[in-house]
Structure 1
Amino acid sequence: MSNSSLPEERELLRQIARGDESAYTLVFNHYSKQVFNAAMLYLKNTTPAREVVQEVFLKIWLKREAMSDVEDLTGYLFILTRNHIYDSFKKQATQLKAVDNFVQLQPDAIEDTDYRLQERQYDHLLNRAVSSLPPERKKVYIARKEGLSNEEISHKMNISIHTVKKQMQLAVQTVRSFVKQQLHI
């Protein structure tokens, strides 16, 4: 920003501190182009640079009581401009990071939902296959899926281990065939 100061700048700043709108307008008209040019150095885009001018001068008006303490208005405006732009960059970076995190989580959520839906469908299909088994074969199959050994099933159902093995083999074949038929494999 150039060092072309307004004559009686200190007096204008005191008037702004007291709420004088005409003094504020004079300062705005004189320095807004310099603030715009400084913003363009960083942003390289006129629309955001104009927004920075508005934000910087809005901040001056909102904090006008402190303006009588400003020694170098040109330097003060440059610092306000730079800080506003840096804060905007930080905010954008935070927003981009949040969006990136959100996007990274979405495929997992979609895959997880798809997986759960598919798993429920397979469970339903398996239950239908097991339900179609003859009663004794069904009991052997369910007991085995519950973690019982062939010997435990044999004792529990009062049948030979050979019968347990044969019923389990037939149950697995029937379930496999049923699932293949339903899935058109």
Structure 2
Amino acid sequence: MPYSSLPEERKLLLQIARGDESAYTLVFNHYSKQVFNAAMLYLKDEGTAREVVQEIFLKVWLKREAMPGVEDLTSYLFILTRNHIYDSFKKQAIRLKVHDYLYQHQATATDDTGYRVEERQYDNLVDQAVSSLPPERKKVYIARQEGFSNEEISNRLNISIHTVKKQMQLAVQSVRSFVKAYISR
């Protein structure tokens, strides 16, 4: 069964862009079930899917100024949800690899202190990798991590979408190389 759009959706998006919380609440109430169902397609876990709904609508609120540029809110929310989940999967995969490496190369601890240390080491490692990026590439990478689309990054940084894609590709390669170089020491 296809989902219906809200009446006067364009007007609501403009109101949200101006900070209207009641318009935001209407959009949340109408679309949160769709976002939940999209998250369930990938996650198969109700608790995690509910968290994704909260995170997606937090992103919508934080990026509310961009809402008037959204042509199809249903598609926008689905893509935002899918990308958020994919990014989470990627981060988790990298985190698992680093944790496996650190686990294999460090003495085991009897409590979770070792885990916390590893988590900080991983976060510091990624921060170092991002810090080593050239300034424009770093801006693109950070904007993407904050959930902005290529088009939004393009508009925000006043560069072409092609440049955004290329800079993001180079940034990811640099971060991976940095992490691999650290792990292979």
**Per-residue CA distance 1:77-97 (angstroms, 9 max, x = gap):** 001000100111011111100
Aligned position for 2:50: 50
2:93 & 2:2 partners in 1: Cα distance?
30
2:34 & 2:43 partners in 1: Cα distance?
14
Contact 1:2–1:34 under 8 Å retained in 2: no
Letter in 2 for 1:54: Q
2:2 & 2:49 partners in 1: Cα distance?
17
Structure 1 position 19, deviation (Å): 0.5
Structure 1 position 49, deviation (Å): 0.3
**Per-residue CA distance 1:114-164 (angstroms, 9 max, x = gap):** xxxxxxxxxxxxxxxxxxxxxxxxxxxxxxxxxxxxxxxxxxxxxxxxxxx
Aligned position for 1:73: 73
Aligned position for 2:84: 84
Structure 1 position 18, deviation (Å): 0.6
- Superposed, 1:1-185 pairs within 5 Å as 2-106=2-106
2:30 & 2:12 partners in 1: Cα distance?
12
Letter in 2 for 1:6: L
- Please identify runs of 4+ aligned residues in structure 1 that moved more than 6 A: none
Alignment gaps of 5+ in structure 2: 108-185
Secondary structure in 2 aligned to 1:7? coil
How many percent identity over aligned positions? 79
Letter in 2 for 1:99: H
RMSD of aligned alpha carbons: 1.3
Letter in 2 for 1:38: A
Alignment gaps of 5+ in structure 1: 108-185
Structure 1 position 105, deviation (Å): 1.1
Secondary structure in 2 aligned to 1:5? coil
Which structure: larger Rg?
A: 1
1:71 & 1:60 partners in 2: Cα distance?
14
1:59 & 1:2 partners in 2: Cα distance?
24
Contact 1:2–1:74 under 8 Å retained in 2: no
